Amino acid sequence: MQLEFELVTYDEKLDKFNLDETMYQIELGEEDAQTYELLKSSDLNLYNWLKESDSFKKYVREEIYPEGDHEKIAISDINGTTFRRFYFFKVTSGDSHYEYFKKLFTILEESEWQDREDVGEEILAQLMVKRQDMIIDLVENDAVDKDAAKV
């Protein structure tokens, strides 16, 4: 099974995401394809599964950014399921994004007159933490305790 995905790169100094704008593909083995089928209806479970996949990180590290151009990335789209709203949400974003995040973060509007900007600011505050959870660090941790290596 082919899995199509897009990435965003993360600039830690600017705390900013940039869309890669390239559609990538990775071949999934039978077991991973079954896992995908189980998780595809739950966007964040699907994201977390792929984020934690060593084979996915290795593929990105070796095939997409072999020169180490980007140390930190995030997944923008997986087979048509988009996560762009997590990286590019603004107080002026559309109603569907507001509704998604209000449900995700259990944000209750106190009344119908509550200012949309207040809700947007609360979403942005919660997204600051969530975005950090979604970042994939591509730097391999090859540090070996030198004293242990001497034994």
Lowest mean pLDDT among 24-33, 34-43, 101-110, 127-136: 101-110
- Residues 73, 8 contacting (CB under 8 angstroms): yes
For 139-151, write each residue's pLDDT tens digit. 875 444 444 444 4
For 109-135, write each residue's pLDDT tens digit. 766 656 788 889 999 999 999 999 999
pTM of the model: 0.85
Indicate whether 65 pLDDT > 60: yes
Q: What confidence score (pLDDT) does residue 68 get?
A: 81
- Residues 7, 24 contacting (CB under 8 angstroms): yes
pLDDT range class, residue 55, cuts 50, 70, 90: very high
Percent of the chain with pLDDT over 90: 76
Region 31-42: what's the mean pLDDT? 94
Q: What confidence score (pLDDT) does residue 125 get?
A: 95
Measured on CA atoms in the order 16, 136, 4, 41, is the torsion positive or negative?
Answer: negative
| C-alpha distances out from residue 142 to 12, 31, 67, 139, 146, Å | 21, 28, 17, 9, 12
